[in-house]
């Protein structure tokens, strides 16, 4: 799948997709992703197994993530090169939102 099609499909990105991709900058298995996201967000986002594994399946099919082996019979995943590009695009988009919001906020505070 080409990067433009994926960009249109994945941006704007849901928080679930964002945190899954962010967590897969390092190889992790499903439960490790759940723990990482829970810790990173202070428990605000808790990924359920159905949501997580459905997202992982779709992302792997789209080539945004890839299998990275097994650890104690658990499948490991990592972000792919295309996934990194999509994540970078989303981080830049979020940065623009933040900067514009802060400009306005400073003007009304």
Give residue limits of the domains in the chain. Answer: 3-108
Q: What is the pTM of this model?
A: 0.91
* pLDDT per residue as tens digits for the range 46-104: 999 999 999 999 999 999 999 999 988 999 999 999 999 999 999 999 999 999 999 99
The separation between the first and the last C-alpha atoms of the chain, rounded to the nearest angstrom, is 45
Token pair recorded at residue 2 = 């080409």
Give the residue carrying structure tokens 């940065």.
95
Domain 3-108, what fold?
Answer: Arc Repressor Mutant, subunit A (1.10.10)
Under 8 Å between Cβ of 17 and 24: no
The 10 Å Cβ neighbour count of residue 18 is: 20
């Amino acid at each position: 799948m080409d990067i433009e099609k994926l960009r249109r499909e994945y941006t704007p990105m849901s928080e679930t997709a964002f945190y899954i991709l962010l967590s897969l900058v390092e190889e992790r298995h499903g439960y490790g992703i759940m723990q990482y996201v829970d810790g990173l967000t202070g428990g605000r986002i808790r990924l359920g197994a159905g949501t997580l594994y459905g997202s992982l399946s779709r992302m792997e099919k789209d080539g945004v993530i890839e299998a990275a082996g097994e650890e104690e019979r658990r499948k490991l995943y990592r972000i792919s090169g295309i996934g990194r590009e999509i994540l970078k695009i989303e981080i830049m988009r979020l940065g623009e939102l933040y900067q514009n919001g802060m400009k306005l906020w400073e003007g009304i505070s």
